[in-house]
Structure 1
Amino acid sequence: MTHSAPVIPDEAAVVGQSLNKQLAGEKLHSAIYTGWISHQRLQPKLHGFRYQLFMLYLDLEELPYLFKNNSLWSYLKPNCAYFRRQDYLGSPDQPLELCVRDLVETHTGQRPLGRIGLLTHCRYWGICFNPVSFYYCHDSQGELQAIVSHITNTPWQEQFAYVHEVKQDKSLLFKLDKDFHVSPFMPMDIDYQWQFSAPGDTISVHMQNWRQQQAMFFATLKLERQPWQAASLNRMLFSYPWMTLKVVAAIYWQALRLWLKRMPFYPHPKQHSKPGDES
């Protein structure tokens, strides 16, 4: 599928727009979100947990200039906290925004021409791991057009992207088949039901796993928006100093608990059933 090259805004103009927004007190599209995530396993045995966390909602147009005048955070350059291109979707030698637009167009036939917001973790103290990052893709009128769920599994470090197209009824409930192995304690023959909210004062994601018409597993992410401020970023960095390390440690700790409960073990299927694996 061919398409014209995207228009890349003049760097100085974008810098000026971002700085002018901050000086005028206008709310940026980018934000800090704080809240919690919970998992509840229903089959074959009960198991659950809940953790506090923070995530960043990064407007990809604003991203290169969000960490200006903050000595602890940076874009593309190593720091206490920084955005590293290699940690995200697509080829690291391609602009992230271009990779997301291409992926959505390939899967839906429609290219998102508006803003793209990324809900994710950055690299903190040299460590980054995102079990899932979400890209909220808007059309030229500012309406949500598609959501991309970009998943990384552990310990295989493979990546896979599900593209959820927002239909005319604007429903953000998506039903899909599982096509990517995530946990050795969850089989592949799973039906997903994922419910999203549009980014706003809050963001929520609720995922359900069903097998043979029986609910097996629920996961819920609930976050509240905080303004994008350097002081707030630094407070998050020191309030949650090992955010991404905590994510990795929690995955292995919960896996150990599942193993001790003698949950069924499902080996890696070696290949996934549909294109989309970016490993």
Structure 2
Amino acid sequence: MCIAEVTNTPWGERVMFTFQPGSDLVAKPLHVSPFMDMLGNWSIRAESPGDALYVVISVQHPTLGNYFTAALHAKLVEKTSSSLRLAAFFWLMPHKVAVGIYWEAVRLWLKSVKFLDHPRYLNMAYRDEAQKRDLEIRSSCSFLQKQKLNDQRSGSAADEISVHHDHSGEGGVTKRRCVWRDAQWPWS
């Protein structure tokens, strides 16, 4: 299992949730942009970390399709005197990223892209609804995986399904563990 921790800086919230390495689909559990609603799902691809870490998150929306992708590619840095001098500037990276995010938000706002309030102002149960959508996704993927296995046993061709899920209990799908909490300001 992998653990993701996502913070929505302007609103001071943080969510931690588990996902399967390789590829997984997660119902969006956190309002991270005033230009995206909560109906999207996050398709997460992550390789096992080693000397490098590669993570890609794509937003899949039921009506808008795949419209946003974010990627992180990090490399392990050896501890040398030159790398330690460079590390003195790494504390600026969150600020650089925040400036870039706010710059893109201004550009979207200038293009008259609709601004969406945080769902807590409209529906206090948005977290519960995200959990329900996630369970539906996991149940649907579980059904598709069972169908693929049956097709393979009967010799039928089936599309590759790269989404993995835990199964437990009486034929059910385990509920993904999400933990919401307040984030420390700024960017911690």
Mark the CA change 1:149 to 1:230 in structure 2 (over 3 Å): closer, same or farther: farther
Give the drift of 1:237. Answer: 2.0
| Alignment-derived partner of residue 243 in structure 1 | 93
1:216 aligns with 2:67: yes
CA distance in 2, matches of 1:205, 1:187: 22
1:149-175: CA deviations, max 9, x gaps? 1111131111111212x4xxxx52011
CA contact (8 A) 1:178 1:188 kept: yes
Q: Aligned pair 1:226/2:77, yes or no?
A: yes
Q: How does 1:10-29 map to 2 (within 5 A)?
A: none
Question: 1:244: Cα distance to partner?
Answer: 2.1
Equivalent residue, structure 1, for 2:127? 273
Aligned residue type for 1:236 = A
Higher relative contact order (CA 8 A, sep 6+): 2
- Which residues of 2 match residues 245-264 of structure 1 at below 5 A? 245-264=95-114
Kindly tell me: are residues 198 and 228 of structure 1, through their superposed partners in 2, closer, same or farther at Cα, counting changes over 3 Å?
A: farther
d(CA) in 1 for partners of 2:88 and 2:49? 22
SS, match of residue 83 in structure 2 = helix
Tell me the TM-score normalised to structure 2 length: 0.61
CA RMSD across the alignment? 2.0
Residue of structure 1 aligned with 2:11, choices 151, 156, 163: 156
For residue 269 of structure 1, what is the amino acid of its counterpart?
P
| AA partner of residue 243 (structure 1) | M
Percent identity of paired positions between Structure 1 and Structure 2: 30
Which amino acid is the alignment partner of residue 204 of structure 1? Y
Length-normalised TM-score, structure 1: 0.42
Cα distance in 1 for partners of 2:6, 2:13 equals: 8
Question: Runs ≥4 in structure 1, deviation > 6 angstroms?
Answer: none
